[in-house]
């Protein structure tokens, strides 16, 4: 087995030289030392690919050109521009962080890594990136891409997710830092290397500036490192979403402050279908296979819910479902008024910890139905913890679909609502 030189001695110099010659230099958030713009880009880049972020960054900066504009904006405005980027908690924390910096630091970003890391939504690695790019601080970043680079170059036999490995990775990352003046190029070089050369499945070793000092490459183990536990299959959850329209407007409800799509606007939802309902829904014991026959599934669900709404199915078993009773009230009311019920396809989305399939029930009300009480909106709102949905802060909305697109709504619903225009 061929021996390779000690990577520590030349790691930073090789990386800085390569980044300046061949790294990325045309990203919209580069070539600036404005900590605000750097911070926005780093938050957007958390768990999101560069190609996706570039479609949102310029629009966001044009709407909120500085931290004072962002701090003064409503959360709805921020969520609306963030819709499609996913991980919406980032947008909430971005907004909260802007308000904190304006209130505590008069709109000036702290220059030290530790102070930055204490702000909402800014962890250790993001704080280091801001400090390195904006203030040339010698601060180490450590995200998934950087772990992969370090694990391969130094042939680290570590589970990247363990606490022991995390400590070792941080210690190594801090030992490799160059002088302050090289920190922006070094930090960007690490990001570029992990994103364009040291790829997870298809590493481009022949184009890597570190190939001569990479132990994994010399051992022929570049595809085997870093060590990773097999991914667990994500559990499947079933929700029911209800699209209620009167021909002009649809009903939206504000999501709770915590959890999936926190504080965003969404359709009324039952977030956990009862086992009895799933039993009727699933003729096939394999949910993925059963859902392939959408027509059969939708027909079964339609009949079942009509039976439930007309009291031909015992609904008392559904009391433990947080939003079941309000939705049943809506459905019973709609049938009582001779409204039309049908299926509006279904929502499918993957989250970090589960996959979601949500049949979408469409209730078309007659145009002469004007009383919101007929739809038991008050009951729906009370479940969400609102004292009176008809006054004060509006936590539900009857809104035209074209106007709903200006709100913070999840991307999967934005596509449905956009298609309804």
**pLDDT single digits (tens) 143-166:** 999 999 999 999 999 888 888 899
User: Which pLDDT does position 276 carry in this prediction?
Assistant: 53
Percent of the chain with pLDDT over 70: 72
Helical (H) or strand (E) element with 185: helix 183-196
Q: What is the mean pLDDT of residues 330-354?
A: 64
Judgement on whether residues 178 and 285 belong to the same structural domain of the protein: no
Residue 251 lies in a domain: yes
* Residue ending a domain, choose from 219, 251, 270: 219
Taking phi over 0 as left and psi of -120 to 50 as alpha, with beta for the rest, 147 belongs to: alpha
User: Which pLDDT does position 374 carry in this prediction?
Assistant: 40
**pLDDT single digits (tens) 93-108:** 999 999 999 999 999 9
Judgement on whether residues 274 and 373 belong to the same structural domain of the protein: yes
**pLDDT single digits (tens) 267-286:** 877 666 655 554 454 444 34
Residue 42 lies in a domain: yes
Judgement on whether residues 201 and 309 belong to the same structural domain of the protein: no
Judgement on whether residues 267 and 215 belong to the same structural domain of the protein: no
* d(C-alpha 239, C-alpha 281), whole Å: 12
Q: What is the mean pLDDT of residues 40-56?
A: 93
Residue 2 lies in a domain: no
CATH number at residue 391: 3.90.79.10
Q: For the packed helices 35-45 and 124-135, what is the interaxial angle rounded to 10 degrees?
A: 150
**pLDDT single digits (tens) 162-202:** 888 999 999 999 999 999 999 999 999 999 999 999 999 89
* d(C-alpha 250, C-alpha 238), whole Å: 22
User: Which pLDDT does position 330 carry in this prediction?
Assistant: 53
Helical (H) or strand (E) element with 68: helix 67-72
* d(C-alpha 124, C-alpha 255), whole Å: 30
Point out the least confidently predicted range of 27-41, 123-137, 269-283, 379-393.
Answer: 379-393
* Residue ending a domain, choose from 163, 186, 219: 219
pLDDT band for position 370 (cuts 50, 70, 90): very low
Q: What is the DSSP letter of 130?
A: H
Point out the least confidently predicted range of 13-17, 200-204, 253-257, 287-291.
Answer: 287-291
pLDDT band for position 255 (cuts 50, 70, 90): confident
pLDDT band for position 342 (cuts 50, 70, 90): low
Give me the number of domains the chain comprises.
Answer: 2
Q: What are the distances in angstroms from CA 213 to CA 6, 18, 150, 254, 342?
A: 7, 14, 11, 54, 63
Residue 225 lies in a domain: no
Q: Which of 55-69, 319-333, 350-364 has maximum average pLDDT?
A: 55-69
Residue 27 lies in a domain: yes
Judgement on whether residues 202 and 322 belong to the same structural domain of the protein: no
Residue 302 has pLDDT above 90, yes or no: no
Judgement on whether residues 317 and 241 belong to the same structural domain of the protein: yes
CA proximity to 337, closest of 373, 289, 291, 301: 373
User: Which pLDDT does position 29 carry in this prediction?
Assistant: 94
Q: What is the mean pLDDT of residues 16-24?
A: 95
* d(C-alpha 80, C-alpha 85), whole Å: 10
Q: What is the mean pLDDT of residues 329-346?
A: 56
* d(C-alpha 307, C-alpha 332), whole Å: 10
Judgement on whether residues 322 and 401 belong to the same structural domain of the protein: yes
CATH number at residue 127: 1.10.340.30
User: Which pLDDT does position 359 carry in this prediction?
Assistant: 75
Residue 69 has pLDDT above 90, yes or no: yes
Point out the least confidently predicted range of 13-27, 37-51, 177-191, 260-274.
Answer: 260-274
User: Which pLDDT does position 83 carry in this prediction?
Assistant: 85
Judgement on whether residues 242 and 185 belong to the same structural domain of the protein: no
* Residue ending a domain, choose from 185, 219, 253: 219
Which residues in 274-313 are b (16+ Cβ under 10 Å) and which e?
beebeebbbeeeebeebbeeeeebbebbeebbeebbeeeb
Point out the least confidently predicted range of 130-139, 177-186, 376-385.
Answer: 376-385
Q: What is the average pLDDT value for the chain, to the nearest integer?
A: 78
Judgement on whether residues 30 and 158 belong to the same structural domain of the protein: yes
Judgement on whether residues 307 and 349 belong to the same structural domain of the protein: yes
Q: What global pTM score does this model have?
A: 0.77
What are the catalytic residues? 42
Residue bearing the bigger pLDDT, 31 or 171:
171
Judgement on whether residues 259 and 158 belong to the same structural domain of the protein: no
Q: What is the mean pLDDT of residues 340-351?
A: 71
The parent domain of residue 367 ranges over 236-420
Residue 227 lies in a domain: no
User: Which pLDDT does position 320 carry in this prediction?
Assistant: 35
Non-local (6+) Cβ contacts of 81 within 8 A are 56, 59, 60, 63, 64
Residue 133 lies in a domain: yes
Q: What is the mean pLDDT of residues 119-141?
A: 96
* Overall residue count recorded for the chain in this entry: 421
Non-local (6+) Cβ contacts of 307 within 8 A are 313
Residue 140 lies in a domain: yes
Which residue has tokens 């039993």? 279
Helical (H) or strand (E) element with 98: helix 89-105
Judgement on whether residues 208 and 292 belong to the same structural domain of the protein: no
Q: What is the mean pLDDT of residues 300-325?
A: 44
Residue 321 φ then ψ, to 5°:
-85, 120
């Amino acid at each position: 087995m061929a021996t390779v030189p000690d990577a520590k001695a030349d790691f930073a110099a090789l990386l800085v030289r390569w980044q300046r010659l061949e790294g990325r230099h045309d990203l919209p958030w580069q070539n600036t030392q404005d900590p605000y713009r750097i911070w926005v880009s780093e938050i957007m880049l958390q768990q999101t690919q560069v190609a996706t972020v570039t479609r949102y960054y310029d629009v966001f900066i044009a709407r909120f050109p500085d931290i004072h504009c962002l701090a003064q904006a409503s959360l709805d405005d921020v969520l609306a521009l963030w819709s499609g980027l996913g991980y919406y908690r980032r947008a909430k924390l971005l907004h909260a962080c802007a308000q904190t910096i304006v209130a505590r630091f008069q709109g000036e970003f702290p220059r030290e890594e530790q102070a930055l890391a204490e702000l909402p939504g800014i962890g250790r690695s993001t704080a280091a990136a801001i400090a390195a790019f904006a203030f040339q601080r010698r601060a180490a970043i450590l995200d998934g891409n950087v772990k992969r680079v370090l694990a391969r170059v130094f042939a680290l036999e570590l589970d990247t997710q363990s606490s022991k490995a995390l400590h070792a990775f941080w210690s190594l990352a801090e030992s490799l830092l160059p002088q302050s003046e090289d920190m922006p190029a070094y930090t960007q070089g690490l990001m570029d290397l992990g994103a364009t050369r040291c790829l997870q499945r298809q590493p481009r070793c022949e184009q890597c500036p570190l190939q001569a000092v990479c132990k994994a490459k010399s051992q022929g183990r570049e595809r085997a490192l870093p060590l990773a536990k097999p991914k667990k299959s994500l559990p499947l959850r079933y929700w029911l979403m209800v699209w209620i329209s009167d021909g002009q407007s649809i009903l939206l409800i504000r999501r709770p402050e915590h959890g999936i799509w926190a504080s965003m606007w969404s359709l009324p939802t039952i977030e956990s279908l009862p086992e009895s309902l799933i039993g009727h829904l699933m003729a096939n014991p394999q949910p993925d296979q059963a859902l392939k026959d959408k027509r059969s599934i939708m027909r079964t669900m339609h009949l079942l819910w009509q039976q439930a709404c007309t009291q031909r199915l015992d609904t008392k078993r559904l009391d433990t479902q947080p939003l079941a009773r309000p939705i049943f009230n809506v459905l019973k009311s709609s049938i009582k008024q001779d409204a039309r019920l049908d299926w509006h396809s279904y929502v499918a989305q993957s989250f970090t910890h589960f996959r979601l399939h949500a049949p979408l029930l469409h209730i078309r009300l007659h145009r002469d139905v004007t009383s919101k009480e007929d739809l038991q909106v008050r009951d729906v709102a009370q479940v969400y913890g609102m004292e009176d949905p008809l006054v004060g802060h509006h936590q539900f909305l009857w809104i035209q679909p074209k106007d709903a697109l200006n709100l913070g709504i999840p991307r999967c619903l934005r596509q449905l609502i956009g298609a309804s225009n």
